[in-house]
Chains A and B, each alone.
Chain A
Amino acid sequence: MGVMAPASTPGLEDDNWGETTTVVTGTSEHSISHDDITRITKDMEDSAHLDCSRHLGVALAGALALLAFLTPLAFMLLPQLLWREELEPCGTPCEGLFISVAFKLLILLLGSWALFFRRPKAFFPRVFVFRALLMVLVFLLVVSYWLFYGVRILDSRDRNYQGIVQYAVSLVDALLFVHYLAVVLLELRQLQPQFTLKAVRSTDGASRFYNVGHLSIQRAAIWILENYYHDFPVYNPALLNLPKSVLSKKMSGFKVYSLGEENTTNNSTGQSRAVIAAAARRRDNSHNEYYYEEAEHERRVRKRRARLVVAVEEAFTHIKRLQDEDQKNPREIMDPREAAQAIFASMARAMQKYLRTTKQQPYHTMESILQHLEFCITHDMTPKAFLERYLSAGPTIQYHKDRWLAKQWTLVSEEPVTNGLKDGVVFVLKRHDFSLVISTKKIPFFKLSEEFVDPKSHKFVMRLQSETSV
């Protein structure tokens, strides 16, 4: 979206040598239609794929893991390869150690696969501190083992093979403990809830509360986003504005004409003061209009909804599932798609009118409605189950992926995003047309005390209906 052109050809005497003409066409005064916006977001997402640093991290971790895995094997194999004749024979203890190494490596492999080999769910803006810490730890461990191995065993050609195998086993044990540390740091620490996060959408105020444990700000942001897609109702820009008839009344104020002299400063301030005073004195009735407009809209929505429900119910009575014992002409047997198309016509008009009244028509194309109808018919759903999707605005993840799901979010925070959550931290997750404001509160420390109640202590007496003390 930016065009850079050199200001002048080289060699010319130019006063404006340093200036490059950068034309940014994104901020034009023309309004951008919704299709443009989706195209823009697609471009941004595509460019994110080409980001190399994400792959660099994964490649590094993979290389380190491979190194750590192969090191014990190398420790045990190198003496065999290099000075086999000088080695002391080592019978049963070595075999036992070989078996234990084999199984421990297998366990390590399975554990690492379970813990680390997952599709990354998000791309963090900053390095993930715990993961980096663990990689550094593993690296130091392996390097120090190699150092000692090189100095004590390779150089001096140690003959005690059992000792060498035990050395390799100790490395595997250390790696298993590092894996345990990884489980605790990456998975277990955040499970116990410590904070309550309130997420509010900036455009229409939809809000939810979530309980999380100790997380860094970026991880908490990812958690919120995962829950946003299935908790928050879909963002509908058409529902934001007050109806025009309410707002337009405000605009009509007083028109002040100045007769005679041209505007001096005294005159204009006098005029504006008069306008303001007059506007303040005039009774503002726009709340009244808003109320009646709302009531009227409610009534209209209910009427359309009633028509829709009746139409759908009637449509569903036209088809039924074929039982095996029914003998039907093969021409009359339909698959779900055809059945859906057959009954769609009778409810199409009512559906269209309802969607238009509730301003949901951009979200549901005819094709999507047909697909949903086919889905409901296949699974023997009632008309009410079919309508559940249209009568209330569902969460964002319910709608077709290409249009409404966006993967690019911006995290805005005053504190560095790798900091842990604390009481009172506020950060914002931005999209280009709305944002989620998230504030943190610490879950209070509960003091629970105990009170013992003897089951025999429950005794009652009759009371006169009304007793007054005089």
Chain B
Amino acid sequence: MSYVPGQPVTAVVQRIEIHKLRQGDNLILGFSIGGGIDQDPTQNPFSEDKTDKGIYVTRVTEGGPAEIAGLQIGDKIMQVNGWDMTMVTHDQARKRLTKRNEEVVRLLVTRQSLQKDCLEKVHVPNCGKHYFLLSLVKLTVVKF
């Protein structure tokens, strides 16, 4: 899942659609993110490879929109509404998630269990319809 320069990044992702909750003047999603290309990747407790500078989900508030949508703690966010999140700074990631005029965000997230279940056993139907392979350089979405 880490980034090797020049090579396409391939990951099994799950599409998660979060409807933002209005709280007063803010729209909240109900989770916390960590990581970014300007942060220290060795501090990340969720990443398998300690050079991975991607955006990870560090906390999911209980009963919040993110938990309802199926986001889990430790997920790595690959895309938000089509915008790439594997090569962004922490602040850029926050901004992409908290745009005020968007009520729904569609994330592509990946986690270890997805990789294990799907990449080794490509033909097993357990993978389900909701997971698909994401290849970032070519941006083709493989669905099975």
Contact = CB atoms under 8 A, between A and B. Distances in A.
Given A467-B58, A468-B90, A470-B97, A462 B32 contact: no
Nearest to B42: A465
B32 A467 contact: yes
A468 B43 contact: no
Contacts of A470: 28-29, 31-33, 94, 97-98
A95 B95 CA distance: 103
Interface in A347-404: none
A467 to B, nearest CB: 5
B59 A467 contact: yes
By size class, the interface of chain A is: under 10
Contacts of A318: none
A456 interface: no
30 contacts: A462-B43, A463-B43, A464-B34, A464-B35, A464-B39, A464-B44, A464-B45, A464-B58, A465-B34, A465-B40, A465-B43, A466-B36, A466-B90, A467-B32, A467-B34, A467-B59, A468-B34, A468-B90, A468-B94, A469-B28, A469-B31, A469-B33, A469-B59, A469-B61, A470-B28, A470-B31, A470-B32, A470-B94, A470-B97, A470-B98
B33 A467 contact: yes
Main secondary structure of the interface of A (DSSP, over half): loop
Interface in A447-470: 462-470
Q: Which 5 pairs, one residue from A and one from B, show the smallest C-beta to C-beta distance?
A: A464-B34, A469-B32, A470-B97, A467-B34, A465-B43
Contacts of A466: 34, 36, 39, 90
A467 B45 CA distance: 12
A457 B98 CA distance: 37
Contacts of B35: 464
Contacts of B45: 462, 464
A14 to B, nearest CB: 100
Interface string A299-342: 00000000000000000000000000000000000000000000
Nearest to B29: A470
Contacts of B58: 464, 467
Interface string B84-127: 00000010001001100000000000000000000000000000
Contacts of B98: 470
B132 interface: no
B131 interface: no
Interface string A411-423: 0000000000000
A470 B40 CA distance: 20
